[in-house]
Chain A
Amino acid sequence: MKVFNTDVLIIGAGPAGMAAALQLTQMGIQDIIIVDRDTQAGGVPRLCNHLGFGMRDIHRVLSGPSYAESYLKKIKNSSIQLLTETTVTEWIDEKKIKITSPKGIHTIDAKAILLATGCRERPRSARLIPGYRPQGIYNTGSLQDYVHGYKEEVGKSAVIIGAELVSYSAIHTLSKAGCKIKLMATEFDKHQIYMPYLPFKWWSSGLLPKIPLKKNSIVTNIYGKQRVTGIDLVNKKTGKKKHIACDTVVFTGDWIPDHEMARLGTIEIDDKTKGPVVDAQLRTSKEGIFAAGNLLRGSEPGDVAALEGRHAAQSIEYYLKNGGWYKDRIKIIVTEPLKWISPNSVDLGSSGLPMNRFLFRVNDFIKNKTFIVRQGETVLYRKKYSTIGPNYSRKIDAQWINNINSTEPISISLE
């Protein structure tokens, strides 16, 4: 078992990990190892064969594979060591981990570690949907693998569960695979999409209006002993049940961070995001360990993850130069209908550069509410929203963290 020593170890070569690595080299840190368990680096975009990547980080609009490739090209021309087919399997020490690859089992001993392990969609089972377990049930992620990765056929007639950004990737992928989309079903009463999202606007004008949307609907049963033969949809408001014949069901969205390594490392997990608790410098509860990208709270667009990677790189550079960790970390507590906030803590000492924004999500459609950040009686920030919807994130400015002057808990509510 060989031991590799490095300044920075990055776990996960998706947009967050790749962007972090490149940013670090630009800041003069050259000794970086980035590992990914997949046979090819690039993360999820590698299999997102549609336009819509790169606006905010590389200021171009590319397809997922071209986007991943543009990062990988730069990594190849740098001092960064990229190890693919390499899985981090366990922690040996605070900043020392074990890897398995075709080359054997080795350890990497790093001065700082960035966790950028991404997220996944909750499978049907995790959503506790009863019925049989036939073939023909997918998540958007696995569907893309079949269709774009292996040019496999899927079914002939599909139902898409969910009507958020990623659900439209499922439409795209199914259409490419020649599968008819019968309908989309969502538990809400409309599509959940943040209208300013440009790529969506482009093609929503094309395909979307042709696909019926079953509103307020949840899946209550899946039929078929071998292959899916249909599902039951129940309208939450009327209680009416409808059987839909189909041979394919795609469960979209409902993200859960791939937090296995974080949890195995006993890093504190936020009970709302299910990702590591991080402060605005993207520092986790363990000294020297940072987190960025979808691991933090589920899926955002790839460029958002990449920008977080870049930010983490700045914090890592600061840490390698100055040492130290946060002093007084104050947890941010959100209450319903807020679903989560990310980052979810702030450092009173404020060493290093905090991110200049927070992201948050809500559980339901909300009209005319004010977002209020409080510390005790003091209102640190407020902003009015006419509408906010579930399943997409909104951004708030982080200026208010400069006004914190005690370690009292911070709470956020919508009133």
Chain B
Amino acid sequence: MTNPKKVYDVAVVGAGAVGAAIARELSKYDLECILLEAKSDVGAGTSKANTAIWHTGFDAKTGSLEQKLLTRGYELLLDYVPEAGIPHEKSGAVLIAWNEDQFNSLEGILEKAHKNGVTDVHLLSVEQVYELEPHVNSGALGGLMVPGESIICPFTVPLAFASQAVLNDVDLLLDFPIEKIVENKDSYILSGTGGEVRSRYIINSAGLNSDVIDRMFGFDRFQVTPRRGELIVFDKLALHLVNHVLLPVPTAITKGVLVSPTVFGNIMLGPTAEDLDDKEETSTSADGLEFLWKKGEGIISQLLDEEITSTYAGLRAATDHSDYQIYLHSDKRYVCVGGIRSTGLSSSLGIAEYVLELLKEAGVTLIKKEDFKSIKMPYIGQKEERPYQSEELIAQNKDYGRIVCHCERVTLAEIKNALHGPIPAITLDGLRRRTRCMQGRCQGFHCSADVNEIFELEIERIECGGGQ
């Protein structure tokens, strides 16, 4: 499908939240761009398996690049999220101190938050903590409120960015792992099992492989260590137990384990933090799950009586540095965007804006397109109206009244829609992320065979040339 002769202006390697945000930003300008992704879908790496908190950056290291881009990213998302229809809720976060040590560090966190420009952060008395969160265990000593911390849909974020980029003429190649990059006069040839692509500029946003790509340019400045984070997701019927993101008070060693509602209406417990060697080791472990169980017991023991919906693990692209690894090499026409460890979902738009500044600095001419198109994503959260609740939609198309996945109340029309559009799902996992089907409490006991059948029939129809 690729035109081996065509030379793109910019190629973005890796379509996670970060790469997709960069591609979207690029698509505002008169440039020929391409987004290259090794997996069969965008957002199928670390971006799909995290805690999905839209961070304010209140506790980021003041003055670091991460803090700067997180603050900016947070701000940019405020406008983008409603515009693109990304499920989100401004839940606010509560840090609860369970011991003297934690209690004593609250002041310092408050100070830092204010320094970072997150000025609405304030201390909570014990009474206030229990008023806000009546179901947490007894024994809290006090807390801190971060009103701006929010929850967001991790699946829709990269999909929205990438879909909008595609809508605005960025080419997207999936199943296209880059294995080799060679310079050829004033452009590069990027190649791998998927084929070959040429581009003048390259942006490396390959997440866990950002170090590997960086080395292809002759650098050896950071090493990505996959830091596994395991999570347990509890049933939606547990939602009433938790009102805010319950953040642990960070200590010197780790950010700790949080309990948080999700935009789908579940409660999540996690993550763990464990350094591994294998960049694909996204399995859960007995030790990890047991650790979380104990942690959960210590925060909100009532939660453990509820059913578990799922467990999963994600890998942070941790490096031997504490800050983001973003570098411009004008001479090489190369930007490295690596080590976006544990805040990339929130900072993605900030990073994208920053990368465009770097490209400008490198001499890329940026002329704004006049007809930059906006996008509206299908809503899969729990807070606003879903298609099964809309008389109007069902009147237009009966398939919106046909619920296929009962736990998540996903309709036939939504499933079919997800197999079309700017970036259609081409795998069942992709379908899951776009619609929520099979992601609920029964994990497909009731609907997986039905969904599978619908998927296969529709894919067959599309392959035979059928449109929507």
Contact = CB atoms under 8 A, between A and B. Distances in A.
Interface of A: 1, 37, 85, 87, 89, 100-105, 120-126, 128, 130-133, 139, 141-142, 145-146, 149-150, 152, 220-222, 225, 256, 260, 263, 271
Contacts of B449: 142, 145-146, 149-150, 152
A125 B307 CA distance: 10
A222 B402 CA distance: 34
Nearest to A133: B312
**Which 10 pairs show the lowest CB-CB distances between chains A and B?**
A145-B449, A123-B443, A102-B398, A102-B401, A125-B310, A130-B284, A132-B283, A146-B449, A126-B308, A120-B445
B237 A260 contact: yes
A32 to B, nearest CB: 23
Contact of A141 (B308, B446, B453): B446
Nearest to A127: B308
Interface in B416-468: 441-446, 448-450, 452-453
B403 A130 contact: no
B289 interface: yes
Nearest to A1: B391
Nearest to A125: B310
A152 B310 CA distance: 25
A228 B448 CA distance: 17
Interface in B387-430: 388-391, 394-395, 398-399, 401-403, 406, 409
Q: How large is the interface on B (under 10, 10 to 19, 20 to 34, 35 or more residues)?
A: 35 or more
B436 to A, nearest CB: 15
Give the one of A122, A126, A141 with max B CB within 10 A: A126
B285 A37 contact: no
A145 B394 contact: no
Given A104-B394, A123-B443, A131 B452 contact: no
A123 B444 contact: yes
Interface in B70-108: none
B62 interface: no
B448 A142 contact: yes
A87 B391 CA distance: 14
Contacts of A225: 280
B450 A145 contact: yes
B388 A89 contact: yes
B283 A124 contact: no
B289 A103 contact: no
A125 B443 contact: yes
Given A100-B389, A104-B394, A130-B285, A142 B444 contact: yes
11 contacts: A100-B388, A100-B409, A102-B398, A102-B401, A120-B445, A121-B445, A125-B309, A132-B282, A142-B449, A220-B286, A260-B237
B311 interface: yes
Contact of A105 (B288, B394, B443): B394
Most chain A beta-carbon contacts within 10 A, residue among B284, B388, B395: B284
B444 A130 contact: no
Nearest to A269: B237
A266 to B, nearest CB: 11
A128 B237 contact: no
Nearest to A147: B449
Contacts of A222: 283
Contacts of B308: 125-126, 128
Contacts of A104: 391, 394-395, 401
A72 to B, nearest CB: 20
A1 B395 CA distance: 11
Nearest to A148: B449
B398 to A, nearest CB: 4
B443 A146 contact: no
B284 A131 contact: yes
Interface in B268-289: 280, 282-286, 288-289
**Interface of chain A, helix or strand or loop or mixed?**
mixed
Nearest to B283: A132
Contacts of A87: 388, 403, 406, 409
Contacts, number: 109
B406 A120 contact: no
Contacts of A126: 307-309, 441, 443
Q: Identify which of A1, A124, A142 gathers the most chain B CB atoms within 10 Å of its CB.
A: A142
Contacts of B312: 133
B23 to A, nearest CB: 27
B442 A123 contact: yes
A128 B289 contact: yes
A128 B309 CA distance: 10
Interface string B37-60: 000000000000000000000000
Nearest to B450: A145
B427 to A, nearest CB: 10
Interface string B296-315: 00000000010111111000
Contacts of A220: 286
A82 B450 CA distance: 22
B252 to A, nearest CB: 29
Contacts of B441: 126, 260
A267 B446 CA distance: 24
Nearest to A103: B401
Contacts of A271: 305
A395 to B, nearest CB: 27
A221 B450 CA distance: 28
Nearest to A256: B307
Contacts of B390: 105
A102 B413 CA distance: 11
Given A121-B445, A123-B444, A146-B452, 17 more contacts: A37-B403, A87-B409, A89-B388, A102-B398, A104-B395, A104-B401, A105-B401, A125-B310, A126-B307, A128-B311, A130-B288, A130-B289, A142-B449, A145-B446, A220-B286, A260-B237, A263-B237
A150 B406 CA distance: 19
Given A37-B406, A263-B237, A145 B448 contact: yes
Nearest to B428: A135
A120 B446 CA distance: 8
A343 B442 CA distance: 25
Nearest to B307: A126
A102 B399 contact: yes
A1 B392 CA distance: 11
Nearest to A139: B445
A126 B443 CA distance: 9
Nearest to A224: B283
Contacts of A263: 237
Contacts of B446: 120, 141-142, 145
A122 B402 CA distance: 25
B402 A102 contact: yes
Contacts of B283: 130-133, 221-222
A146 B451 CA distance: 10
A122 B452 CA distance: 20
A130 B288 CA distance: 9
A105 B289 contact: no
Contacts of B309: 125-126
Given A130-B285, A142-B445, A100 B401 contact: yes
Interface centre among B389, B442, B449 (most CB of A within 10 A): B449
B363 to A, nearest CB: 42
Nearest to B453: A150
Interface string B244-271: 0000000000000000000000000000
Contacts of B402: 85, 101-102
B295 to A, nearest CB: 14
A152 B288 contact: no
Nearest to A135: B428
A89 B286 CA distance: 36
B130 to A, nearest CB: 23
A150 B452 CA distance: 9
Contacts of B403: 37, 85, 87, 100
